[in-house]
Structure 1
Amino acid sequence: MDAIEPLQRLIFAIAIGVIVGTERHWRERDEADGKRTAGIRTFGLVGMLGGITGSIAAMPGFGAVGAAVVIAGLFAAFAAVFALYQYREAVADDKFSATTTIAAMLTFVLGTLAAMGNLTLASAAGVALVAILASRDVLHGFVERLSWAELRSAIVLLGMTFVVLPLLPEDPIGPFGGISPSRTWLLVIILAAISFGGYVAVRLLGPARGELVAGAIGGVISSTATTLTNARRSTGIEGSSTLAAGALAASAVSYVRTAILVGVLAAPLGPALFLPLGAGAIVMAGFAWIFARRHDGPGEHSQPKNPFDIVSVLKMAAMLTAVAFLSRAAASLLGDGGLILVSALSGLADVDAVVVAVTGMAADLSHMIAVAAIGVAVISNTVSKAAYAIIFGSRSFGLRVLGASVAALVAAAAAYWLGVSLGA
């Protein structure tokens, strides 16, 4: 029985090699026999070699130093031989790539890990390795289509996450309970990541053609700004159905984004808010789809701007910090009514800032007040966008946005009442 477990680990190591080798073999399946340096058999043997190495190193007679010497020595010998054959193949084909060599080295290491008993890490890393290898065409196509502005935005996101965030203190600073720089910046990162992800998704799927798609992406960035932009564009044209569809799609995405933020930052508030936010989003999306199918005007849209301009990111951080401070100060000085007032005023421009502030204060607020503050901000934002549509847009645009907004709020109210009734 003692020999069964090492044998199972060795089989596991071979299986990892066979899986990786299957992808490598498929990639070069059209090559004639003898033209492939590594395929299913070779990688299966690489996995076996790594497994045997791990089995030897795990023998009772070897200490930690001895095991390290065995693994390092056999790995170095294998890597040198394999790299040599890969180099000869590359010279013959005049095509150079280190991918197969690196994949073989990783397969050896994963086989060693499996034989030494770390099956979970070996299997997870093996799946990840095959996924990366199989995604070559997708990843290459993505890089080819990536613009410098988008690459720069990705670098900014990485810097915000792995450079700036660890340097910020977690403890609150300032009066009225203070503001946590780390928590505030983390929310900025979340918003930025959502915006960047939506932007990249559109780029991967091709240029946005239609106000519906453009509005949905605009909603990831700012539904209020999208509504104002479409309202101004609707003046002076005969039809505005597609422009209204874009504005409503942005509002639907904004509802969903608010629900995601609540779920991530204050999950206990979710049961009271998910249902009404979902109902409002569905109604907004339904009207957007109906208006988009009518095509009663030119409805030309412009490509959404890259959401990762550093200036806009800093402005977002400043706004979030200011609103969070005002919310805490109002709640402290005026009680619960002060927080509701701040939520209503903040909702005239943005909902995210209120979500940041309220979720940060959730531990010090009653459940009802926290839910009411976020709800008031959503209602205020929806009403304000309808008002902007009427004031700045054409008559047909304003009426369409107003009608859909009223329907969405009614649906959200009904969903909230239903949720309360079921909860009771």
Structure 2
Amino acid sequence: MNWLQQLLGAQAGLVMGWLAALGSGALIGLERERSKGQGPSREPAGLRTFTLAALCGALTRGLEQPGLVAVGALAVTLLGALAYSRRRGSDPGLTTAMALFLTYLIGALCVEAPLLGAPAAITTTALLAARSRLHRFATQLLHEDELHDGLLLGALALVVLPLMPKEPLPWLGGMKASALMGLMLLLLLLQALGHVALRLAGPGAGLTLSGLLGGLVSSTATIASLGARARQHPDQPALQAACAAGAIMSTAATWLLSLLMLAALAPAAAARFWPLALTGAASAGLIAWRLLRQAQTADGTAARDGVPAPLAQASRGPLRVREALLIAALLSGVSLAVNWALQRFGSSGLYTAVGLAALADAHAPVASLAALQASAKIGLDALMHGVLLALACNSVTRSLTALLSGGALFARRVLTALLLSLGLSMLALLAMPALP
């Protein structure tokens, strides 16, 4: 670039813009040339047309005459319309015409901002080249309920969330309505991402991925479902190991979701909690990996024997709005109870309320503690201890659920992972420097 500036002086930027426009037009035109077909029904524009359109855009912009870019855009539009009116095909389409008009604008943009024009050309070319893939996605892969759920998620994020009050509300236990709505959106987004992951991975993802994604909603329910499947097949040790691995991955999801909740409600707390969360999730994941290896050794197809009925039903629908609403209602109720216990009984009442609430669900007391810490009602140390207490109390529920649903062997494997992740996380907390 330095030698070009020395050679061309003040015109170096203009030349770079022209080169970017030339390359952009040629790139888009090359893709259209390969797709224009043969014979009388071929597309009217190809490599040369698109390159010339980009150069026209660069020229009209480079001359810096008022209104010249608009006149050029009108000329390109009229020429494109004339060419399409003379086509013999029964379905003229608009993709090439729109691409030609966009190429003209990209050429004009390259003169002013080549670092924006070049990526725009690459994006346009990629979109044009992906025609068959996009058509297959829209007509074969994308289900109607997935489209509806995607529209619902977009409406909640772009319309409802900005309207939520951002100040703490007493009837929500000091939580912000916007934060509560954000948590609900987070749950729905995780459900959608999990659904996409299962669709992309296919049945080979098996029980492990299903357990991880199910744990983002309810680790206890996931353990119960996988435990029931393991109990149904006592003569298949490989499948039992795969079910236990999926259940353990649901406990890893609990750590990760707790971290995400803290990041959404109390970023300062998340900055201190992340080593504990990653330690707990990684230790659980290590045990699940060992069980998977054991399952593959015993029977290489065990991990592909299918997904439990509740999880299979969940994977067919991207969003489970009813569950997200119930979790949001639970978060509100627990937040009220924990806030009342803190005001009435102090820290002892706070921990009692957290422990009792965590027997039913670990996420609700974690969110309540984060809201209290964000409003400066409790310190970071109290929050860290409360979160670990919530996860420990919920581990009791998950262990009993594993025993009742899957039997002694299944419960022993799940309990080992729970104890290891909790123990290592507590050691990580002790190893962290004390707060000033």
TM range (shorter): 0.7 to 0.9
CA contact (8 A) 1:214 1:304 kept: no
Q: 1:253 to 1:356 in 2, by over 3 A?
A: same
Amino acid corresponding to residue 412 of structure 2 in structure 1: L
Measure the CA separation in 2 of the matches of 1:193 and 1:176.
23
Which residue is equivalent to 1:301?
307
**Aligned AA for 2:424?**
A
Q: Distance in 1 between matches of 2:393 and 2:318?
A: 24
**Distance between the aligned counterparts of 1:223 and 1:83, measured in 2?**
59
Deviation at 1:190, TM superposition (A): 1.5
Asked whether the equivalents of residues 275 and 419 of structure 1 are also in contact (C-alpha less than 8 Å), the reply is: no
**Post-superposition offset of 1:3:** 3.4
Q: Name the residue aligned to 1:288.
A: 288
Contact 1:227 1:388 in 2 (8 A): yes
Tell me how far apart the structure 2 counterparts of residues 307 and 380 of structure 1 sit (CA, whole Å).
30
Map 1:191-340 → 2, pairs under 5 A: 191-207=187-203, 210-238=206-234, 239=237, 240-295=240-295, 300-302=306-308, 303-305=312-314, 306-340=317-351
The one-letter code of the counterpart of 1:156 is L
| Contact 2:187 2:324 (8 Å CA) reproduced | no
- The question of whether the paired residues in 2 share the 8 Å contact of 1:24 and 1:100 is answered with yes
* Partner residue of 2:14 out of 2, 6, 11: 6
Deviations 1:298-326 (A, max 9, x none): 76423241252332232222222222333
The one-letter code matched in structure 1 to 2:333 is A
1:23 CA displacement:
3.8
Q: For residues 13 and 255 of structure 1, what CA distance do their matches in structure 2 show?
A: 50
* Cα distance in 1, alignment partners of residues 367 and 120 from structure 2: 36
Aligned to 1:400: 413
1:149 is aligned, of 133, 145, 148, to: 145
> Kindly tell me: are residues 204 and 174 of structure 1, through their superposed partners in 2, closer, same or farther at Cα, counting changes over 3 Å?
same
SS at match of 1:246: helix
Post-superposition shift, 1:53? Answer: 2.2
Residues 34-45 of structure 1: pairs in structure 2 closer than 5 A: 35=42, 37-45=44-52
Overall identity of the aligned pairs, in % = 26
Alignment of 1:171 with 2:167, yes or no, is: yes
Q: 1:342 to 1:104 in 2, by over 3 A?
A: farther
CA deviations 1:131-176 (Å, max 9, x no partner) are 4334434433333212222222112111211222223222222258
Contact 2:184 2:324 (C-alpha < 8 Å) held by counterparts: yes
Alpha-carbon offset, residue 38 of structure 1: 3.6
Describe the superposition over 1:198-230 as per-residue Cα deviations: whole angstroms up to 9, x where unpaired. Answer: 112211332455222221222233222101212
Query: Are 2:241 and 2:291, in contact at CA under 8 Å, matched by a contact in 1?
Result: yes
CA contact (8 A) 1:323 1:346 kept: yes
- Separation in 1 of the partners of 2:133 and 2:345? 55
In 2 relative to 1, CA 5–293 (structure 1 residues): closer, same or farther, beyond 3 Å? Answer: closer
Indicate whether 1:385 and 2:398 are aligned.
Answer: yes
CA contact (8 A) 1:249 1:284 kept: yes
Q: Corresponding residue for 1:79?
A: 77
CA deviation map 1:50-98 (0-9, x unaligned): 1222223x34xx3xxxx3xx33332122023224435655x44x56543
Question: CA 1:97–1:261 in 2, change beyond 3 Å: closer, same or farther?
Answer: farther
Are 2:137 and 1:139 equivalent residues in the alignment?
no
Cα distance between partner residues in 2 of 1:87 and 1:324:
65
Q: Which moved more, 1:307-316 or 1:79-88?
A: 79-88
- For residue 369 of structure 1, the aligned residue among 382, 392, 397 is 382
Equivalent AA in structure 2 for residue 313 of structure 1? A
Of 147-156 and 118-127, the range deviating more from structure 2 = 118-127
Paired residues of 2:203 and 2:306 also in contact (CA < 8 A): no
What is the deviation of 1:106? 1.9
Distance 2:389 2:414 in 1: 19
Q: In 2 relative to 1, CA 260–183 (structure 1 residues): closer, same or farther, beyond 3 Å?
A: closer
Whether the aligned pair in 1 keeps the contact of 2:219 and 2:254 (CA below 8 Å) is: yes
Cα offsets for 1:91-124 (capped at 9, x unmatched) = 44x5654323222222222222333x34454344
Q: What 5-or-longer segments of structure 2 have no aligned partner?
A: 1-8
Structure 1: how far apart are the matches of 2:217 and 2:122? 34
Specify the alignment match of 2:59 in structure 1: 52
CA distance in 2, matches of 1:126, 1:350: 50
CA change 1:13–1:324 in 2 (3 A) is farther
Structure 1 CA distance for aligned equivalents of residues 293 and 419 of structure 2: 21
Alignment partners' CA distance in 2, 1:335 and 1:71: 70
Asked if 2 retains the 8 angstrom alpha-carbon contact of 1:217 and 1:304, the reply is no
Q: Are 1:411 and 2:424 counterparts? A: yes
Structure 1 residues 332 and 249: alpha-carbon distance in aligned structure 2, compared to 1, 3 A threshold? same
1:351 corresponds, among 343, 362, 387, to: 362
Aligned-partner Cα distance in 2 for 1:377–1:25: 62
1:19 aligns with 2:17: no
Pairwise CA distance, 1:369: 1.7
State the TM-score, normalized to the length of structure 2: 0.82
Q: 1:122 maps to what in 2?
A: 117
Q: CA RMSD in A?
A: 3.1
CA drift at 1:360: 3.0
User: Distance in 2 between the 1:23 and 1:382 partners?
Assistant: 57
**Cα distance change of structure 1 residues 176 and 253 upon mapping to structure 2, 3 Å threshold:** closer
Matched to 2:324, the amino acid is: V
Distance in 2 between residues matched to 1:361 and 1:308, nearest whole Å? 29
Q: 1:138 to 1:376 in 2, by over 3 A?
A: farther
